[in-house]
Amino acid sequence: MAATILDGNKIAGEIRGEVAAEAKLLAAAGMRPGLAVVLVGHNPASEIYVRGKVKSSEEVGLYSEKHTPAESATTAELLSLVEDLNRRDEIDGILVQLPLPPRVDAKKVLMAVDPAKDVDGFHPMNVGFLSTQRPGLVPCTPGGVMELLRRSNIAVAGQEAVVVGRSDIVGKPMAMLLMNANATVAVCHSKTRDLAGVCRRGDIVVAAIGRAGMVTRDFVKPGATVIDVGMNKVTDRAEFERFFKGNEKRELAFAKNGSTLVGDVHPDVAEVAGAITPVPGGVGPLTIAMLMANTVRAAKLRRGAAVPVG
């Protein structure tokens, strides 16, 4: 029996609807939540992401502004911009789009963001809040995965969960969120012995390793929930055949565009899993929806007692 497809677009729409209602309530009380996005230089992929984030902000009623320093911007110039945004009370969230140019000290710039405005949830203070279960801002992608599980009625407490990947942005916070929700969690990476064997223990498998189709059917026990965080562009015909041979819809798109997207999970896994996220249309839309939710959350945490209760 084929896996249930977990529709990220649908759930992202629900979250955005809730965010819009909260933003409207705050705006009526004179506290419209505000998001500032910093995009350095002209990275085409980053420009697309940022455009999507700004558009989404406007759609849910957030105030948003985009800052676009030149490619030649120095660490000192970016620190000055971040300090300015930290001081401005109408800005509740600051997002510095990565990657930054190589000569810029990215860690220093991210550390300069006020933790109360760190809507990416990357600041060590927010990481500390997450690990000690205190109110703070949680990274958008893992936060979106937890919402996907909750709203799809997939039990987490008491389940074995396996996270493949240990990045600061997805893998580590994902493991902490699952632990906080009472799952038993294993974190795997490139040095894990018998990776497939460890993954097969998982009732929930989260793949966030950044390698196209690496998680194959022998990694997944029948009936497991598989969350695919990966987003890999396939342009090679032989690689395309490995993932999508016989898939007419994908064939047409590949012939037209010369590329297609595949996650970190091989499409065949859908024949074994109980539930699975598609790529595209799975975790991706949730990341942006959670950025909107984090901006409203930051506004409420920052403004405290003045916030109206809906």
HEC string of 202-244 equals CCEEEECCCCCCCECHHHCCCCCEEEECCCEEECCHHHHHHHH
Domains defined along the chain, listed by start: 30-116 (3.40.50.10860), 140-285 (3.40.50.720)
Tell me: the pLDDT tens digits for 122-163? 999 999 999 999 999 999 999 999 999 999 999 999 999 999
CB of 57 closer than 8 Å to CB of 141: no
Q: Which pair of tokens denotes residue 294?
A: 């984090």
> Distance between CA 35 and CA 94 in Å, rounded?
6
Chain-centre distance of CA 235, in angstroms? 24
Whether 120 is catalytic: yes
What is the CB neighbour count within 10 angstroms for residue 186? 17
pLDDT confidence of residue 110: 95
Tell me: the pLDDT tens digits for 56-90? 999 999 999 999 999 999 999 999 999 999 999 99
Query: Per the residue annotation, which of 53, 117, 172, 300 is the catalytic one?
Result: 53
Residue range 49-62: average pLDDT?
A: 93
pLDDT confidence of residue 48: 87
Query: Per the residue annotation, which of 97, 117, 264, 300 is the catalytic one?
Result: 97
Query: Per the residue annotation, which of 92, 118, 120, 203 is the catalytic one?
Result: 120
Q: pTM for the full model?
A: 0.94
> Distance between CA 210 and CA 165 in Å, rounded?
8
Task: Please measure the distance between the N-terminal and C-terminal CA atoms of the chain and give it in whole angstroms.
Answer: 43
